């Protein structure tokens, strides 16, 4: 049995470091450029694998150099890539501006990730054989909804990162066992201005809601009530790209490996913080040997 199946996006991140975002019509110099494996799905798969879980990835790639590089990146972390579809579109890209303060701004061009494909027999078999299914919204929502419904029908725990925020089909949230939005996503999904109120509201529909808040830690709600607050691990950030995906990937990995919820949340918080101290998305994600000594 596989611990986790991740159905999601794989992008080549095209990363520019720059002092600030340019004004409309302005040209400015950046200080560096890099190509880095990314995409919310790939990021979560890598984070989970480095936290010790066995992982399979269900994605879509083009038959180009970026696609070959992304597949090799996944396989380098021991991730099963048999469920990746090869499509007649370029591999997806993300165009990332990393500001000197560590924050980022991202434009995603889905390409292969946006191709509308139903679940095939290989992907259904992978989900059936897993303990957890993790999804995000950088693949077509119809596919995501199909995967979540199928996972629930075969007793697989569903974990959803609602990014980017979309209008959801009726009954979708009720099929989510663990919902992991950031604060802005939680407020948008719930239609309220306060993240704690959003967590409460969303947890009346989904099972457990974990709202990530960067340096302010995370809120956990269940059954319409806040149940705990997870403190952030203090660090000086260099690049926050991929921190949220690190949190989710490590959280699911540690739950799948049998950790208690408080222990898994603490591990996810430490791992996400460590990821912000290094540039890039997937390259920044720590191994379990780096996280474990900091858990106390």
Annotated binding residue at 120?
A: no
Reported confidence tier of residue 279, pLDDT bands at 50, 70, 90: confident
Check the CA dihedral 148-248-72-105 and report its sign: positive
How does pLDDT run across 207-226, given as a tens digit for each residue? 999 999 999 999 999 999 99
Nearest to 115 by CA among 47, 179, 67: 67
Reported confidence tier of residue 12, pLDDT bands at 50, 70, 90: very high
Q: How far is CA 3 from the centre of its chain?
A: 16
Annotated binding residue at 39?
A: yes
DSSP tag of 207: S
Cβ contact 59:91 at 8 Å: no
Annotated binding residue at 138?
A: yes
Reported confidence tier of residue 289, pLDDT bands at 50, 70, 90: very high
Annotated binding residue at 275?
A: yes
Using CA atoms, how far apart are residues 283 and 104, in angstroms rounded to an integer?
16
Minimum mean pLDDT among 62-71, 193-202, 205-214, 238-247: which range? 238-247
Q: Does residue 102 register a pLDDT over 80? A: no
Q: What's the CA dihedral at 180, 281, 56, 170 to 10 degrees?
A: 30
For the chain, the average pLDDT equals 95
Using CA atoms, how far apart are residues 231 and 265, in angstroms rounded to an integer?
9
Token pair 């090799």 is found at 72
How does pLDDT run across 258-275, given as a tens digit for each residue? 999 999 999 999 999 999
Percentage of residues of the chain with pLDDT beyond 90: 90
Using CA atoms, how far apart are residues 160 and 164, in angstroms rounded to an integer?
11
CA distances from 25 to 16, 22, 109, 121, 185 (A): 18, 8, 22, 49, 30
Q: Does residue 73 register a pLDDT over 80? A: yes
Q: Mean pLDDT throughout 186-215?
A: 97
Burial class (CB in 10 A: 0-12, 13-18, 19+), 231: exposed
Q: How many CB atoms lie within 10 A of CB 209?
A: 30
Helices (H), 173-222: 183-190, 195-203
DSSP tag of 182: B
Cβ contact 58:86 at 8 Å: no
Q: Mean pLDDT throughout 279-293?
A: 92
Reported confidence tier of residue 85, pLDDT bands at 50, 70, 90: very high
Annotated binding residue at 244?
A: yes
Domains along the chain? 2-10+40-92+111-294 (3.40.1190.20)
Residue positions annotated with a catalytic role: 245
Q: Does residue 5 register a pLDDT over 90? A: yes
Expressed in angstroms, the distance from the first to the final Cα of the chain is 30
Minimum mean pLDDT among 106-110, 245-249, 261-265, 278-282: which range? 278-282
């Amino acid at each position: 049995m596989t611990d986790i199946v991740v159905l999601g996006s794989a992008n080549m991140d095209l990363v520019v470091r720059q002092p600030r975002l340019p004004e409309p019509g302005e040209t400015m110099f950046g200080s560096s450029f890099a190509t880095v494996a990314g995409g919310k799905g790939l990021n979560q798969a890598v984070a989970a694998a480095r936290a010790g879980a066995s992982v399979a990835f269900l994605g879509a790639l083009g038959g180009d150099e970026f696609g070959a590089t992304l597949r090799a990146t996944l396989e380098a972390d021991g991730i099963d890539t048999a469920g990746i579809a090869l499509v007649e579109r370029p591999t997806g890209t993300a165009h990332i501006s990393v500001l000197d303060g560590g924050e980022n701004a991202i434009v995603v061009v889905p390409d292969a990730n946006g191709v509308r494909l139903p679940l095939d027999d290989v992907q259904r078999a992978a989900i059936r054989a897993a303990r957890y299914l993790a999804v995000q919204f950088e693949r077509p929502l119809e596919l995501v909804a199909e995967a979540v419904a199928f996972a629930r029908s075969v007793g697989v725990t569903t974990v959803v990162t609602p990014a980017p925020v979309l209008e959801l089909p009726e009954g979708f949230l009720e099929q989510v066992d663990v919902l992991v939005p950031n604060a802005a996503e939680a407020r948008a999904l719930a239609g309220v201005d306060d993240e704690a109120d959003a967590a409460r509201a969303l947890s009346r529909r989904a099972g457990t809601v974990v709202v990530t808040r960067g340096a302010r830690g995370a809120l956990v709600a269940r059954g319409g009530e806040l149940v705990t607050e997870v403190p952030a691990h203090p660090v000086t950030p260099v690049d926050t790209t991929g921190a949220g995906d690190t949190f989710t990937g490590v959280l699911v990995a540690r739950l799948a490996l049998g950790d208690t919820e408080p222990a898994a949340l603490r591990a996810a918080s430490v791992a996400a913080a460590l990821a912000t101290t290094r540039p890039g998305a997937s390259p920044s994600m720590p191994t379990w040997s780096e996280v474990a000594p900091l858990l106390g």
